[in-house]
Amino acid sequence: MSKKTDQYFKGIPMKPYDLIKEGLIVFVAITILVFILAIIFSSPDYPPVKAKEIATYEPVAYLQTFADILQGKSEISNYGPPYDYDKENEQNIFGIAPASILGVTIPINAINDFVIGPLSHLAVIDKNVSKALEEFKDASPQQRTLWIDAYANALNSAKVVSGQVQVSNGDYGPVSVMMNGLLELGKSGLLDASIQSGETPYSFYTLNFTKPLLLFQGKIYHSVARSLDMLGEDWGISNETGNYPGAWWLWPYTFWYQIPPFSTSPNGDLEVGLIMIALFLVLLFLPFIPVLNKIPRWTKIYKTIWRDWYKNKN
């Protein structure tokens, strides 16, 4: 240490301390403890809800997701930036929409990415799907709409028999074959990969699961979140599945979603985000903000924090 430091600490008893050794011991001990607890209690995480599980256990809801996409009614179809250029649902404050400023950074065409793309991969090995896909592409927009609407309406009264979705007889054109192809693709566990494939020359190694996650982000994921008490109105962002402690450090953030006007505002996410940024900046620059920087002196809170030191001093 420097001469000034030696003088500052003069008279204070000291002893050698090996920080690296102590840190290594703690690391090894915690690692062993984590492995033991993992073996005894398993993982507290809820198993991921993938397309395979949805197609297997909720095949009608699975197909309704794709019907909504073909009808342009799904949440992702008109999400707006950063996925598409639809500005109807973008969040703004005082007319300023940050998402639009950044633009479309992850372009998504719901019909092509979630329906046509996966079926194109399946068509390579399934001639029926190949013919249905060609017929669908060659049809006029009006004819496609008639087929899609008819099939979507039939799904409302569909029955599941031996894992297959059966709809009443009707003029569905190639849509029925396409939907069955998507259902089988989902059950096989290959839908996620078929959505991701083709994004890059090395798509086999892709780690970007944005599109597969967005596919069911509407009704289905909300239904799962509701069953786990993890919706926004249930302080969802700070909850954990099961009887495990959640992310309590997120309470200041999710608190705002529980009170008006943020709980009902169409711009709630943006408003809450800006509030948290403002509070963070206040905390960051607290020592330089007039009046606020005097609060510790007025409240004497520092004496409570350092009570042991003041006790020994007195």
Looking at 7-11, 58-62, 70-74, 108-112, which range is the least confident one? Answer: 7-11
Residue 72 phi, psi dihedral angles, 5° rounding: 75, 25
Mean pLDDT of 147-170: 95
| pLDDT of amino acid 53 | 94
| pLDDT of amino acid 198 | 57
Give the separation between CA 92 and CA 116, rounded to whole angstroms: 33
Give the separation between CA 301 and CA 217, rounded to whole angstroms: 46
Whether residue 46 contacts residue 201, with contact meaning beta carbons closer than 8 Å, is answered with: no
What's the pLDDT band for 1 if we cut at 50, 70, 90? low
The answer on pLDDT for 16 being more than 60 is: yes
The answer on pLDDT for 131 being more than 90 is: yes
Looking at 37-46, 59-68, 183-192, which range is the least confident one? Answer: 37-46
pLDDT of 235-277, one tens digit each?
Answer: 887 887 766 677 888 899 999 999 999 999 999 999 999 999 9
Give the separation between CA 307 and CA 314, rounded to whole angstroms: 11
Q: Give 76-85's long-range contacts (Cβ < 8 A, gap of 24+).
A: 76/108, 76/110, 76/114, 76/214, 76/215, 76/217, 76/218, 77/110, 79/108, 81/105, 82/106, 83/107, 83/108, 83/214, 84/108, 84/109
3-state secondary structure of 96: strand
pTM of the model: 0.78
The answer on pLDDT for 205 being more than 80 is: no
Q: Hey, what's the torsion of the CAs at 117, 120, 201, 187, to 10 degrees?
A: 80
For all residues of the chain together, what is the average pLDDT? 89
Helix orientation angle between 141-155 and 175-187, rounded to the nearest 10 degrees: 60
Residue 164 phi, psi dihedral angles, 5° rounding: -105, 140
Provide the CA 213 distance to its chain's centre, in angstroms.
Answer: 7
| CA terminus-to-terminus distance, the chain | 30
The domain limits of the chain are 3-41, 51-215, 259-314
Give the separation between CA 50 and CA 216, rounded to whole angstroms: 9
Mean pLDDT of 105-116: 94
Q: Is 186 exposed, middle or buried (0-12, 13-18, 19+ CB in 10 A)?
A: buried
